[in-house]
Amino acid sequence: MPEASVPHAAPDDAPPRLRLGQRLLLSLPTVRPTPSEEKVPLAERVRGLVLKPQDPDAAPARPTVGAPRTEEVVEAELRRSDDKERLIGLIAAPVAAVIGLLVTGTLIARDPAATLAGGAPNPRHVSVSLYQDLTLVVLALAVLMLGFAWFRKRLPLGIVTALFGLAIFNLHYWGFGVPFIMLAAWLLVRSYRLQRELREARGELPVRGGSGARVLSGGGRPGANKRYTPPAPTRRTAPAKGDKERRAG
């Protein structure tokens, strides 16, 4: 009779068979950070989440110092704010909301009574509903600041920041209003300079620091003066006495 086949025993160095749950766990992607990510500081990680990181291999957008920039470069910079302006706006917006709540809450808490001791109306009393409306306006300005900073709108961000600073300044909280006014002035000045540089690149304004001639973007020659100057009338001299006698003779 043939011998019955006996199953071979598994060698000692063979890996154990995994269950279905263990196979699923091994198929999941690892969540350990790479060595390059472990060396990045926390501030750089937060900045990378908020701001769009630039490609290190990309060519720099700004030309060399002193060289005139083209119209396309200036227009692109004017249309969108840079990372520094965006980060400042994203930080200033929640700070503005907190300051607005603190200021209006303090005004409501310090609001005098509606009537005096004798029953007469108090002229220094302000309706609480007015302070509540002011709170909504301040929070709306803070939300607009956050939106304009997120979408990189420099000029609207400067205008809204100026309105918020003036509102807090008029409530006699100068320490909170002045920084926002200064921030708005910085944004508006940067926007004005970029607009002027764009007009210079288009040839609509004379280039600063040059000869003062207006340079057109197409031909590079100074534009013609469109002002009409009438020709000066010629002065006729009176004929001499000898000429009169000769003509009469």
Contact criterion met (CB below 8 Å) for 169 and 100: no
**pTM reported for the whole predicted model:** 0.59
Residue in 199, 198, 192 with CA at minimum distance from that of residue 75? 198
Could you tell me the pLDDT band of residue 116, with boundaries at 50, 70 and 90? Answer: confident
Higher pLDDT, 172 or 229: 172
d(CA 201, CA 219) in angstroms, rounded, equals 13
Identity at 70, one-letter amino acid code? T
Question: Does residue 197 have a pLDDT over 80?
Answer: yes
- Mean pLDDT, to the nearest integer, of 142-163? 96
Among 37-46, 109-118, 129-138, 196-205, which stretch is predicted with the lowest mean pLDDT? 37-46
Question: Does residue 152 have a pLDDT over 80?
Answer: yes
The Cα-based distances of 55 to 2, 36, 50, 52, 60 in angstroms read 74, 17, 16, 9, 10
Instruction: List pLDDT tens digits, range 156-183.
Output: 999 999 999 999 999 999 999 999 999 9
Instruction: List pLDDT tens digits, range 25-44.
Output: 676 655 455 555 456 676 77
Angle at 152 between CA 150 and CA 158, to 5 degrees: 100
Higher pLDDT, 14 or 1: 14
Question: Does residue 60 have a pLDDT over 60?
Answer: no
Higher pLDDT, 51 or 1: 51
Could you tell me the pLDDT band of residue 206, with boundaries at 50, 70 and 90? Answer: confident
d(CA 47, CA 24) in angstroms, rounded, equals 35
Cα end-to-end span (Å), the chain? 171
Identity at 53, one-letter amino acid code? P
Tokens representing 190? 């940067």
Instruction: List pLDDT tens digits, range 208-218.
Output: 754 444 444 44
- Mean pLDDT, to the nearest integer, of 65-88? 85
Maximum Cα interatomic distance, the chain, rounded to a whole number of Å: 171
- Mean pLDDT, to the nearest integer, of 190-204? 89
Could you tell me the pLDDT band of residue 226, with boundaries at 50, 70 and 90? Answer: low
Residue in 206, 202, 157, 197 with CA at minimum distance from that of residue 180? 157
The torsion of the CA quartet 76, 80, 86, 89, rounded to 10 degrees, works out to: 140
Question: Does residue 184 have a pLDDT over 60?
Answer: yes
pLDDT number for residue 33: 52
The torsion of the CA quartet 49, 50, 51, 53, rounded to 10 degrees, works out to: 0
The Cα-based distances of 208 to 74, 199, 214, 216 in angstroms read 16, 11, 10, 14
Percent of the residues in the chain that have a pLDDT greater than 70, as a whole number: 60
Alpha helices in the chain (DSSP H): 20-27, 35-38, 42-50, 71-79, 83-109, 128-150, 154-170, 174-202, 241-248
